[in-house]
């Protein structure tokens, strides 16, 4: 009886895992993003936005002499 219950719960858990994976493929999100709370999501978005702003500001503040130069490979 206990073995049957364990088997049934295992099958249900496996199916839910597959459904979450399929949903992630369709929506373009990861399973972790599907289970995060709204507060966690808001913090993640705020952190990502801040990182992008910092990168953009750093790019604007880089003097031309220190900016990455494209490689000067000889033209073929």
Higher pLDDT pick, 63 / 59: 59
Given this model, what pLDDT does residue 45 score? 92
pLDDT of residue 15: 85
As a three-state string, the secondary structure of 14-50 is HHHHHHHHHHHHHHCCCHHHHHCCHHHHHHHHHHHHH
**Hey, is 65 helix, strand or coil?**
coil
- Evaluate whether residue 9 is within a structural domain: no
Rounded mean pLDDT of the chain? Answer: 78
| 58 vs 70, higher pLDDT | 58
For residue 6, tell me if it sits in a domain. Answer: no
Regarding predicted confidence, which is higher, 69 or 50?
Answer: 50
Number of domains in the chain: 1
pLDDT reported for residue 13: 87
What residue numbers bound the domain in which 53 lies?
18-57
């Amino acid at each position: 009886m206990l073995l049957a219950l364990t088997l049934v719960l295992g099958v249900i858990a496996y199916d839910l895992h597959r459904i979450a994976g399929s949903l992630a493929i369709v929506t373009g999100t990861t399973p972790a993003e599907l289970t995060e709370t709204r507060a966690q999501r808001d913090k993640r978005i705020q952190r990502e936005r801040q990182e992008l702003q910092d990168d953009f500001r750093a790019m604007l503040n880089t003097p031309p002499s220190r900016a990455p130069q494209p490689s000067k490979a000889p033209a073929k």
